Amino acid sequence: MTFKNLKLIEPLLDAIAKQGYTAPTPIQEQAIPHILQGKDLIGIAQTGTGKTAAFVLPLLQIMSQSPGRIIPRSPRTLVLAPTRELAAQIDESFATYGSFMRFRHTVIFGGVSQVAQVRAISTGVDVLVATPGRLLDLMNQRHVNLNHLEFLVLDEVDRMLDMGFLVDVKRIIAKLPTHRQSIFLSATMPPRISELAKTLLYHPVRVEVAPQATTVKLVQQKVLFVDERNKIAILLELLKHRDLKCVLIFTRTKRRANNVAKSLTTQGIRAEAIHGNKSQGQRTRALDNFKSGHARVMVATDIAARGIDIDDISHVINYDLPVDQIDNYVHRIGRTARAGAKGTAYSLCASYERNALREIESLIKMNIEVMSHSFHSNMARDAVGAAARPPPKQQRGQRRSNTNRPTGRHYRSR
Ligand code: AMP
C-alpha cells in the first residue's frame, strides 16, 4: 500500500515525501479512505501509530476540494485535544502536511495569554485546534463561533475524560451544527466512551489498530527490585550507561519529578522536569531542551507526558510504577517505541509497588525480565541486594538456580 493508492492529492503526497514516509501506517491505511468518503469514524489507536496524519491528511484534502470562505471567528474544522502539548503538535501537523496548500490554522490552549489567540481567530481560520477549557472560555466571550463548523475531531478521548473534560466537551458539542463530519479517536474504548461516541457520531465506521500488545512487544522491558531509599542511587547507576541517550523518566508526583531532576542535575546530568505546576513557558522550554538533546533526561508525571511526541526516546524509566492507574504503564513505555522503533523500559520497583507490578504483568500478559544485581556497580549492587525480596516459598529453588545463569540476567518464574 502506498499513499498514492489512498487517492491523496499531489500537494499532500509532496508533503508526505518531504517527511520521508514511505508507506501509510495501518491506521492511516484504514481510516483515510473512509474519511475521504465523508463518513464519521471511530478510531481506536494509541499515540505513535500515526493517528494524527490519519485525520489531518484527509481533512486537508476535503477542505481543499470544497474551499469555503474564511469567516472571522468561525472555523471549518475543530480539533479538540486533552493537553496543550498534544494540541500544539496537532497544529504543527496541519502545518507540516499542509505545507504545499493554502489554508489557515491556529491553536489555542490555557495557561498563556489569550490575546494572540483571539487575534488569530478573529482574522479567521480554516482549522482550530483547541483544549476544551480555553475553547469554552473563548466561546463564552464570543471570540469563537462554531455555527459554521463542518468537521469535528476529538483526539485522545480517553485521556480527555480521565482529565475531567467530559462536561466541557459536552457543552462545546451542544453548540455545533448537527450536520457535520465527526472523527473520534481513543486508545481504549470502555463502555462510557463508546456511549459518548454513540451520541456524537452518525453511522460511524470503526477502525482499530495496534492493540496495546504490539507496542509492548517492541519494547525491551526490565524491572529492578529496589529499596525506595536507593532509587536515586540506582537511577544514577543506570544513567552511567551511555546508550541511555534520550531518557524519559516517570515519577508518581510533581514534587518527586522536581526532586529527581534536581538530584540528577547536581550530579552533572542535564535533566528537565515537566509537570502541571510548570508554566506554559517553562514546559515549552523544557521540551525544547529535551528535543534538541541539550537535556539528556526529562522527568515527567503521567499527565504532563501525555501526547508529547518525541521520536527518539531511547529509554523510559519508571522511577515509580503507576500504582493508581496501571494502564499508564503501557502509555509510558510506548513513548520509546514510536512508529515501529525499538526501545527499552526500566522499572524501579520498591516493595510497596509489587502489587502494581503483578497487575501490570497480567495487563500486558507477560512477565517482565528481572535485572540481576550484576548490572550494577558495588554501591548500587548493595542497594539492590538489600532490597531484594525473598521470593515466594515455592519459587526459592528456581530463583537460586537462576542467579547462576552466566548471562547475569534471569526471568522471574511464576
Ligand atoms: P502519532 O501517532 O500521530 O503521534 O504519530 C507518531 C509518529 O509517527 C509521528 O512522529 C509521525 O511523524 C510519525 N508518522 C506518521 N505517519 C507516518 C508514516 N506513514 N511513516 C512513518 N512515520 C509516520
One domain for residues 204 and 225: no
One domain for residues 241 and 199: no
Domain-located, residue 213: no
The number of helix segments (H) and strand segments (E) in the chain equals 18, 14
Q: Going by CA atoms, what residue is nearest to atom 5 of ligand 1?
A: 50
The model's confidence at residue 175, banded by pLDDT at 50, 70 and 90, is very high
Residues in the chain: 414
Q: Going by CA atoms, what residue is nearest to atom 13 of ligand 1?
A: 50
One domain for residues 194 and 224: no
Measured from the Cβ of residue 212, the count of other Cβ atoms closer than 10 Å reads: 19
Distance 351 CA to ligand 1 centre (A): 38
Q: Going by CA atoms, what residue is nearest to atom 14 of ligand 1?
A: 50
CB 298 within 8 A of CB 248: yes
Distance 192 CA to ligand 1 centre (A): 28
Distance 24 CA to ligand 1 centre (A): 9
- pLDDT number for residue 338: 65
One domain for residues 63 and 174: yes
Counting ligand 1 atoms within 8 A of each CB, the residue from 1, 52, 311, 336 with the most, and so the one to mutate, is 52
For Cα atoms 51, 52, 56, give the angle at the middle one, nearest 5 degrees.
125
Which residues, in sequence order, are CB contacts of 206 under 8 Å at separation 6+? 41, 42, 44
CB 366 within 8 A of CB 339: no
pLDDT, tens digit, for every residue of 98-125? Answer: 999 999 999 999 989 999 999 999 999 9
- Residue 382 burial (C-beta neighbours within 10 Å; 0-12, 13-18, 19+): middle
Minimum-distance ligand 1 atom for the alpha carbon of 47: 2
Q: Which residues pair with 207 in a beta bridge?
A: 43
Distance 339 CA to ligand 1 centre (A): 6
Residue 412 or residue 148, greater confidence:
148
Domain-located, residue 357: yes
pLDDT, tens digit, for every residue of 176-201? Answer: 999 999 999 998 887 888 889 999 99
Average pLDDT score, the chain: 85
Minimum-distance ligand 1 atom for the alpha carbon of 23: 19
One domain for residues 77 and 173: yes
One domain for residues 28 and 140: yes
CB 149 within 8 A of CB 182: no
Residue type, 1: M
Q: What three-state secondary structure class fits 141?
A: coil
| Greatest pairwise CA separation for the chain in angstroms | 75
One domain for residues 65 and 132: yes
Among 208, 228, 258, identify where a domain stops: 208
Q: Which residues pair with 130 in a beta bridge?
A: 80, 108
| CA distance readout (Å), 121 to 42, 117, 173, 285, 310 | 28, 6, 19, 25, 28
Instruction: List the one residue out of 38, 48, 2, 128 whose CA is nearest residue 330.
Output: 48
Counting ligand 1 atoms within 8 A of each CB, the residue from 1, 25, 183 with the most, and so the one to mutate, is 25
Domain-located, residue 370: yes
For Cα atoms 291, 22, 51, give the angle at the middle one, nearest 5 degrees.
60
Distance 127 CA to ligand 1 centre (A): 20
Q: Going by CA atoms, what residue is nearest to atom 17 of ligand 1?
A: 50
For residue 247, the domain's CATH number is 3.40.50.300
Measured from the Cβ of residue 98, the count of other Cβ atoms closer than 10 Å reads: 24
pLDDT score of 370 more than 80: yes
The model's confidence at residue 382, banded by pLDDT at 50, 70 and 90, is very low
One domain for residues 233 and 172: no
Cα–Cα distance between 168 and 143 in angstroms, integer? 17
- pLDDT number for residue 385: 41
Cα–Cα distance between 52 and 266 in angstroms, integer? 38
Q: Going by CA atoms, what residue is nearest to atom 19 of ligand 1?
A: 24
Cα–Cα distance between 267 and 253 in angstroms, integer? 21
Distance 302 CA to ligand 1 centre (A): 21
Which residues, in sequence order, are CB contacts of 111 under 8 Å at separation 6+? 84, 279, 280
Q: Which residues pair with 316 in a beta bridge?
A: 248, 345
Q: Going by CA atoms, what residue is nearest to atom 18 of ligand 1?
A: 21
Q: What three-state secondary structure class fits 207?
A: strand
- Residue 66 burial (C-beta neighbours within 10 Å; 0-12, 13-18, 19+): exposed
Among 208, 237, 258, identify where a domain stops: 208
Measured from the Cβ of residue 295, the count of other Cβ atoms closer than 10 Å reads: 23
Distance 93 CA to ligand 1 centre (A): 10
Domain extent at residue 104: 4-208
Cell of 135: 475553547
Domain-located, residue 214: no
Distance 53 CA to ligand 1 centre (A): 7
Q: Going by CA atoms, what residue is nearest to atom 20 of ligand 1?
A: 21
- pLDDT number for residue 49: 84
Q: What three-state secondary structure class fits 76?
A: coil
| CA distance readout (Å), 5 to 29, 63, 409 | 9, 20, 47
Cell of 198: 454513540
Which of 59-68, 96-105, 391-400 is least confident? 391-400
pLDDT score of 404 more than 50: no
Which of 134-138, 152-156, 387-391 is least confident? 387-391
Measured from the Cβ of residue 112, the count of other Cβ atoms closer than 10 Å reads: 15
pLDDT, tens digit, for every residue of 212-247? Answer: 455 677 889 999 999 999 999 999 999 998 889 899
Distance 51 CA to ligand 1 centre (A): 7
Distance 6 CA to ligand 1 centre (A): 16
Distance 311 CA to ligand 1 centre (A): 9
Q: Going by CA atoms, what residue is nearest to atom 10 of ligand 1?
A: 311
One domain for residues 231 and 352: yes
Residue type, 72: P
Distance 350 CA to ligand 1 centre (A): 35
Among 208, 241, 262, identify where a domain stops: 208
One domain for residues 201 and 248: no
Minimum-distance ligand 1 atom for the alpha carbon of 46: 2
Which residues, in sequence order, are CB contacts of 46 under 8 Å at separation 6+? 187, 210, 212, 215, 331, 334
Domain-located, residue 389: yes
Domain-located, residue 14: yes
Counting ligand 1 atoms within 8 A of each CB, the residue from 129, 309, 310, 312 with the most, and so the one to mutate, is 309
One domain for residues 198 and 243: no
Ligand 1 cavity residues, CB under 6 Å = 21, 24-25, 28, 47-53, 309, 311, 338-339
- The torsion angles phi and psi of 79, rounded to 5 degrees, stand at -115, 125
Look-up of cell digits 535533566: 271
